[in-house]
Amino acid sequence: MSTTSTGTQPKHGSRATHYLYLAVIGAVLLGIATGLLFPTFAVELKPLGEGFVNLIKMMIQPIIFCTIVLGVGSVASAAKVGRVGGLALVYFMVMSTVALTIGMVVGNFLHPGDGLHVTADGAAIAQEKAAEGHSDTTAFLLGIIPDSLFSSLTSGSVLQTLLVALLVGFALQRMGASGAPVLTVVGHLQRLVFRLLGMIMWAAPVGAFGAMAAVVGTGGADALKSLAVLMIGFYVTCVLFVFVVLGALLKLTTGINIFALLRYLGREFLLILATSSSESALPRAIAKLEHAGVDKTTVGVVVPTGYSFNLDGTAIYLTMASIFIAEAVGSPLAIGEQVSLLLFMMIAAKGAAGVTGSGMAVLAGGLQSHRPELVDGVGLIVGIDRFMSEARALTNFAGNAVGTVLVGHWTGSIDRAQMERALSGEDPFDETTMVDDHQPAAAPEPGDRLAKEPQPV
């Protein structure tokens, strides 16, 4: 189970981190103003945002590795991991299908592509994106296997890290008592990487300012006006999906109010909004869901897997954008074509979550494979894709948070009392360290049990 604090007093440094996130909000607003008033200068600030996101990304794979190794290596049976993973994949497939369907219904209802024309520059960008996004299922599956055991920690691929961490966790599980010292070392390493992440977060206001200024400076108000129907329709669809579909499912299944869960994760949503990348919040999501009472094994398996397989926002985007482009170039898609194209895109999108702009590459690659004459139409949404990227990332993150809680509920791996304390604010999350210093750095309690009980080899 996750490490939690039993006290109800705010943890040390909570006031300082509160000011930090007020600074992030101020930086976002300042970035918007800079982008509108000084667009040329604002575009040059883009490296500030990219640098901050890269700092976060360098911590993602070590955190995922430590979390999964500790979670899997310290449980008594591999069956629990298999049950969690199987339920998660089934849930992801069902919700992706629901998101695709909702996007199709809204896209066919709004008809947002009428009266627009593709420019030569837009067509050139679309062809470039098509080359980036063209992929197949075989290449995706082979890409999960790293070149070496250690390259999985430096490749940038979440799925490669997930695979190696699961293998190491299962190996430690089989080692029994002799694996306990390794789990202790991994426990110390996890504390170190969370400490580093806490230090990096102090650069968030600078990164948020640079990223938001560049977005607004590049797109500007003109892009928003010309494609307002598509963008507003997409945002509204994402909001309804999160609060109506996911909210109802969470409430009916677990009794948890989605507003309470999303409020608990509010700072992560702010981080995603500022950077347009859901990966920027992945390490904090792991730490906060564990603090909220979700079992370490469940969090370690569901959250990283969901970042590649549970792309609700991306699914809605792909459906609405495809229908929009087909109508804009005067070649509407039949329902059968929509279903075939979007199922292909859903597969092609795996592994692209969290990478800013990857949704457009998947969109262009899918159109190139099924309807090449539509690829140039991707250039129509170049101006607003970054704004839509934020909605995609926010929706994907909300879907993964809800999915983790649901899978934890179905597998009986949630401490409901701790969940209530965390969501109510009675037991606040330690923003300064991301871990509880009052807990021993050794392996979790189940691992202690493993050390005492001989395991079959």
Q: What is the 3 state secondary structure string of 181-219?
A: HHHHHHHHHHHHHHHHHHHHHHHHHHHHHHHHHHHHHHH
- Distance, in Å, from the CA atom of 211 to the CA atom of 217, rounded to the nearest integer, reads 10
Looking at residue 9, its pLDDT comes to 43
Tokens of 421: 């304390």
- Distance, in Å, from the CA atom of 31 to the CA atom of 10, rounded to the nearest integer, reads 31
Closest CA to 345 of 91, 90, 88, 103: 103
- Distance, in Å, from the CA atom of 264 to the CA atom of 419, rounded to the nearest integer, reads 10
What ranges do the domains of the chain cover?
Answer: 78-160+222-441
Question: Cα dist. 113→240, 257, 331, 355, 370 in Å?
Answer: 22, 37, 11, 26, 19
- Distance, in Å, from the CA atom of 209 to the CA atom of 204, rounded to the nearest integer, reads 9
Task: Determine the residue type at 209.
Answer: F
- Distance, in Å, from the CA atom of 176 to the CA atom of 199, rounded to the nearest integer, reads 35
- Beta-bridged to residue 294, according to DSSP, are 414
Looking at residue 401, its pLDDT comes to 92
The CATH number of 78-160+222-441, from 3.40.50.300, 1.20.120.430, 1.10.3860.10, 3.40.640.10, is: 1.10.3860.10
Q: From first to last of the 457 residues of the chain, give the pLDDT tens digit.
A: 444 434 444 444 455 566 776 787 788 788 888 888 888 888 888 888 878 878 877 877 887 788 778 777 766 556 667 788 788 888 988 888 888 888 888 877 766 555 554 444 444 544 555 445 455 556 667 777 888 888 777 776 777 887 888 888 888 878 877 888 888 888 888 888 878 877 887 887 888 888 778 777 766 665 556 567 777 888 888 999 999 999 999 999 999 999 999 999 888 888 887 776 777 777 888 888 988 888 888 888 888 888 777 778 888 888 888 887 777 766 677 777 777 777 776 665 554 444 445 566 667 766 766 677 777 677 667 666 666 777 888 888 899 999 999 999 998 888 888 999 888 888 887 766 555 444 444 444 444 444 444 444 3
How many of the other CB atoms lie within 10 Å of CB of 149? 10
